[in-house]
């Protein structure tokens, strides 16, 4: 199959429009605890900044997950089985996916799915050129909303969703349950889920990971303000906000915030938004799980954990789940 950059099509189903971004931002900024969903952190620049975060010394999840993948990839490929339609949610640069693709030669179709169209197109072209024997169909979509997977060029034995990284932690527990239930519905009978799950660990390790000494996470977080200035005619002065990441012990999660340095009023899409000194916009949750916690959550969503791979320190896990009917 010829999947060169010139012929590789990109399906665009449900990229959030400016109107939906505007409505969501205004609704969130008018709450007592101002908040904007973390998915809006990932415009083209935000996606590239996140890739840079993954290379910092303080951010353990990516290098730990890659280590697990490299050590156990043959077992993971065996769990996937032959002639699979592999759909990757939030594909980003597809770095971890390449570890899988290096060890399979009979995928029915690889479908990278991402909300950032430009970033998706670039990474999908790289994958298509590197693996000319694997059919690739990039899909620009918000995978938290309804979308349709494309038909593979040849029959697939089953559908498996690949969800690497610690992105499940961005969902609050009830939303995580609904999200996993949606995956179970998407993969259908005999389908599966290969997922990265960040685990509970020393709080100092967590704080450092989300407050990296190089300041890349701060730039990533503040890029949301830059995006609102560009797309929503907002008037944020980035120097008047600072990045903050704190551990919420009761909830079991890291929370990322943008804290106002003083009393100020910002205009967003023509609407004035007042900030008191110290007031924050919550931009991300990152929940951490025990193995038992995730197994229980998956079971409630109709998924059964079949395989668990972890690193020597039990910082991170990659887990394979199958749909339970």
Query: Which residues are CB-contacts of 48 (< 8 A; sequence separation ≥ 6)?
Result: 119
Percent of all residues in the chain with a pLDDT value above 90, rounded to a whole number: 81
CB atoms within 10 A of CB 278: 10
Q: What is the pLDDT of residue 4?
A: 40
Q: What integer is the mean pLDDT of 70-86?
A: 96
The answer to whether residues 127 and 112 touch, using CB atoms and an 8 Å cutoff, is yes
**Does 105 have pLDDT greater than 90?**
no
Q: What is the pLDDT of residue 17?
A: 60
For residue 3, what pLDDT is reported? 43
Over range 33-44, report the average pLDDT: 92
Residues pairing with 12 in the sheet: 140
Q: Which CATH architecture has domain 57-201+288-323?
A: 3-Layer(aba) Sandwich (3.40)
Tens of pLDDT along 215-235? Answer: 999 999 999 999 999 999 999
In 36-108, the DSSP E strands lie at 84-89
Do 265 and 273 touch, CB atoms closer than 8 A? yes
How is 155-218 classified by DSSP, letter by letter?
--SEEEEEE-TTGGGGS-HHHHHHHHHHHHHHH-TT-EEEEEEEB---HHHHHHHHS-TTSHHH
Question: Of 15-19, 26-30, 46-50, 318-322, which range is least confident?
Answer: 15-19
pLDDT-wise least confident of 108-117, 171-180, 270-279: 108-117
Range name among 15-19, 103-107, 139-143 with the lowest pLDDT average: 15-19
Domain limits of the chain? 57-201+288-323
Confidence band of 16 (pLDDT split at 50, 70, 90): low
DSSP string, 247-262: EETTTTEEEEEEEESS
Sheet with 253-260, strands from edge to edge, namely 34-35, 280-287, 253-260, 241-248
- Read off the pTM: 0.89
- What is the predicted pLDDT for the residue at 2? 44
Please tell me the predicted confidence (pLDDT) of residue 28. 98
165 closest CA partner among 322, 321, 319: 319
What residues contact residue 21 under an 8 Å CB cut-off, 6+ apart?
A: 40, 231, 232
């Amino acid at each position: 199959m010829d999947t060169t950059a010139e012929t590789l099509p990109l399906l665009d189903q449900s990229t959030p429009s400016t109107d939906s971004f505007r409505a969501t931002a205004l609704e969130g900024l008018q709450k007592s605890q101002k908040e904007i969903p973390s998915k809006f952190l990932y415009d083209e620049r935000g996606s590239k900044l996140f890739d840079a975060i993954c290379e910092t010394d303080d951010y353990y999840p990516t290098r730990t997950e890659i280590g697990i993948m490299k050590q156990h990839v043959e077992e993971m490929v065996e769990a996937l089985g032959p002639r699979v339609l592999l759909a990757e949610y939030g594909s980003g640069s597809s770095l971890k996916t390449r570890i899988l693709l290096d060890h399979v030669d009979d995928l029915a179709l690889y479908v990278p799915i991402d909300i950032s169209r430009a970033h998706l197109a670039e990474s999908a072209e790289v994958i298509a050129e590197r693996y000319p024997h694997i059919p690739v169909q990039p899909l620009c979509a918000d995978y938290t909303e309804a979308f349709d997977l494309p038909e593979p060029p040849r029959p697939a034995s089953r559908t498996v969703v690949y969800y690497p990284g610690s992105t499940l932690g961005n969902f609050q527990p009830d939303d995580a349950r609904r999200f996993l239930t949606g995956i179970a519905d998407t993969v259908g009978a005999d389908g599966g889920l290969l997922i990265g799950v960040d685990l509970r660990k020393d709080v100092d390790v967590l704080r450092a990971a989300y407050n990296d000494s190089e300041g890349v996470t701060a730039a990533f977080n503040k890029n949301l303000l830059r995006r609102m200035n560009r797309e929503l005619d907002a008037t944020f002065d980035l120097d008047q906000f600072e990045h903050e990441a704190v551990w919420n012990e009761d909830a079991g999660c890291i929370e990322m915030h943008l804290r106002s340095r003083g009393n100020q009023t910002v205009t967003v899409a023509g609407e004035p938004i007042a900030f008191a000194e110290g007031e924050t916009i919550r931009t991300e949750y990152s929940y951490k799980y025990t193995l038992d916690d995730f197994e229980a959550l998956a079971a409630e969503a109709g998924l059964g954990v079949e395989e668990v791979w972890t690193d020597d320190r039990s910082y991170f896990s990659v887990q394979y789940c199958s749909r339970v009917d």
